[in-house]
C-alpha cells in the first residue's frame, strides 16, 4: 500500500493511515514505523509516526535512527549509530548499528567521518571502507554479505545515484558478485520502486 501512496502529499498519507490504523494502539504504531522504516521513501511520514510513537509510548530505539537517516541527516545518524554500536553489549542490533553508522557516513560524504568510524567497526566493514576511500584491497567471499548490507542501506536511504563508488567496488572481489547485486536491485525495485 505504501508503494501506491508514495506520490501523495505526506499529510494526505498520514490522514489515510490514521483512518486505517488505530494510532492509540502501540502495536499499530509499531507496525507503521517498521513498514515505513523499511520503505525509506516516505521520510516525513516516518518522522511523524516515529515522533508519535516516542510521545505516546516513550519508545526510543533504532527506528529513530532510520527516521534521521531517511530525512537526510546522515552525519548525525552515523555518529549516533556508532555510539549505539559501541555501547551495545553484543545484542542483536550490534551489526545493524555498525552497518548503519558506516552507510550513513558514506552518504554524508565526509571522509573524516568514515575514518573516525573505521577503527571501531568489524574488519569486513573496514575492507569496504578501504575500497570506498580508494585504498587497494581484495575482498573474499565472506565479505559479500556486509558489502551487500552496505549497498542496500545506501540504496534505500539515498537512491541509485549515490552508488557509483560502491558498485565499482565489485571488481575487487575474488568472485563475481554481479548476480548478488542484480538480485539486491531486483528485490528493492519490487518492494519500493515499481
Cell of 152: 542496500
Cell of 178: 554481479
Does 169 or 26 have the greater pLDDT score? Answer: 26
Query: In this predicted structure, what is the pLDDT of residue 194?
Result: 36
Q: Which long-range contacts (CB under 8 A, 24 or more apart) does 50-59 make?
A: 52/23, 53/26, 53/29, 56/23, 56/24, 56/26, 56/29, 57/26, 57/29, 59/26, 59/30
Q: What is the Cα–Cα distance from 183 to 162, expressed in whole angstroms? A: 18
Q: Indicate the pLDDT class of residue 30, thresholds 50, 70 and 90.
A: confident
Query: In this predicted structure, what is the pLDDT of residue 75?
Result: 93
Query: In this predicted structure, what is the pLDDT of residue 17?
Result: 92
How far out from the chain centre does Cα 187 lie?
A: 15
Average pLDDT of the residues of the chain: 81
Over range 88-105, report the average pLDDT. Answer: 82
Helix segments in the chain, DSSP class H: 2-5, 10-20, 26-39, 43-57, 62-70, 74-87, 94-108, 111-118, 123-132, 144-158, 164-168, 178-188
Query: In this predicted structure, what is the pLDDT of residue 92?
Result: 67
Cell of 14: 498520514
pTM, two decimal places? 0.68
Residue count (the chain): 194
Per-residue pLDDT reduced to its tens digit, 44-94: 787 788 778 878 877 666 677 877 887 788 999 899 889 888 887 676 678
User: To 10 degrees, what angle do helices 178-188 and 144-158 make?
Assistant: 30
Q: What is the Cα–Cα distance from 87 to 120, expressed in whole angstroms? A: 11
Does 51 or 97 have the greater pLDDT score? Answer: 97
Query: In this predicted structure, what is the pLDDT of residue 25?
Result: 92
Q: What is the Cα–Cα distance from 130 to 69, expressed in whole angstroms? A: 23
Amino acid at each position: 500500500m505504501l508503494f501506491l501512496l508514495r506520490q501523495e502529499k505526506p499529510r494526505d498519507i498520514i490522514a489515510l493511515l490514521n483512518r486505517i490504523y488505530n494510532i492509540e494502539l502501540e502495536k499499530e504504531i509499531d507496525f507503521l514505523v517498521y513498514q515505513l522504516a523499511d520503505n525509506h521513501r516516505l521520510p516525513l511520514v516516518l518522522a511523524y509516526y516515529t515522533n508519535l510513537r516516542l510521545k505516546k509510548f516513550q519508545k526510543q530505539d533504532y527506528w529513530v535512527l532510520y527516521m534521521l537517516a531517511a530525512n537526510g541527516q546522515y552525519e548525525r545518524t552515523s555518529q549516533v549509530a556508532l555510539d549505539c554500536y559501541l555501547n551495545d553489549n553484543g545484542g542483536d542490533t550490534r551489526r545493524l548499528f555498525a552497518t548503519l553508522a558506516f552507510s550513513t557516513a558514506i552518504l554524508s560524504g565526509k571522509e573524516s567521518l568514515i575514518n573516525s568510524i573505521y577503527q571501531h567497526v568489524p574488519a569486513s566493514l573496514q575492507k569496504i571502507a578501504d575500497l570506498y576511500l580508494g585504498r587497494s584491497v581484495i575482498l573474499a567471499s565472506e565479505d559479500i554479505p556486509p558489502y551487500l548490507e552496505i549497498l542496500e542501506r545506501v540504496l534505500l536511504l539515498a537512491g541509485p545515484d549515490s552508488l557509483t563508488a560502491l558498485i565499482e567496488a565489485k571488481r575487487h572481489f575474488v568472485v563475481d558478485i554481479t548476480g548478488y547485486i542484480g538480485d539486491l536491485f531486483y528485490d528493492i525495485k519490487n518492494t519500493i520502486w515499481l
